[in-house]
Amino acid sequence: MISFTVYGEPVAQGRPRFTTVGGFVRAYDPAKSRQYKDYIRLAAAEHKPDKPFEGPLELHVTVCRSIPKSFSRRKAEAAEKGEIRPITKPDADNYLKSVKDALNGIIWRDDSQIVRVVVEKYYSINPRIEIDVREMGA
């Protein structure tokens, strides 16, 4: 099992942008998404296995977003305890997409190997993403 934390405000996968190059349409990641994926890769590099995982994998992603400044002190305390969870955009699967794309070729060979996923969103005074990867059947 590999576990690590990426500190800082989590960034969800943004919608692709499009441009034309030489008469052909080309899609690319928005700069913010691309930079955050690079940051995840950097954090994962310290924990990567000698060889990327080959078999089926389980992925658990815990997204801890910062508590909105508009929350009252009581509401902020409840959010920190996990009693209030983020139900606003971005969606949990957009955070997952960033993580899966960033870890391709580092932790696993291809994200198609992931057969079980759990993604959770919380509020925290310490924004971060916690990532756990487990080999199935190991």
Pick the closest to residue 90 from 28, 26, 51, 36 (CA basis).
Answer: 36
From CA 134, how far away is CA 10, in angstroms rounded?
A: 22
| Number of other residues whose CB lies within 10 A of the CB of residue 59 | 22
| Mean pLDDT of the 23-29 span | 89
Q: Is pLDDT at 137 greater than 80 in this prediction?
A: no
pLDDT for residue 138: 55
pTM above 0.85, yes or no: yes
Confidence of residue 29 (pLDDT cuts 50, 70, 90): confident
31-45 and 92-103 helices cross at what angle (nearest 10)?
60
- Residue 120: is its pLDDT beyond 90? yes
Burial class, 46, CB count within 10 angstroms (exposed 0-12 / middle 13-18 / buried 19+): exposed
Please tell me the CATH code under which domain 2-135 is placed.
3.30.1330.70
Q: Residue range 127-131: average pLDDT? A: 98
| Identity of the amino acid at 100 | K
| Residue-wise pLDDT tens digits, 41-79 | 999 999 999 999 999 999 999 999 999 999 999 999 999
Confidence category of residue 21, pLDDT binned at 50, 70, 90: confident
Q: How much of the chain, in percent, has pLDDT values that exceed 90? A: 89
Helix (H, G, I), strand (E, B) or coil at 5: strand
- Residue whose pair of structure tokens reads 């932790």 in the numeric block: 107
- Mean pLDDT, to the nearest integer, of 113-117? 97
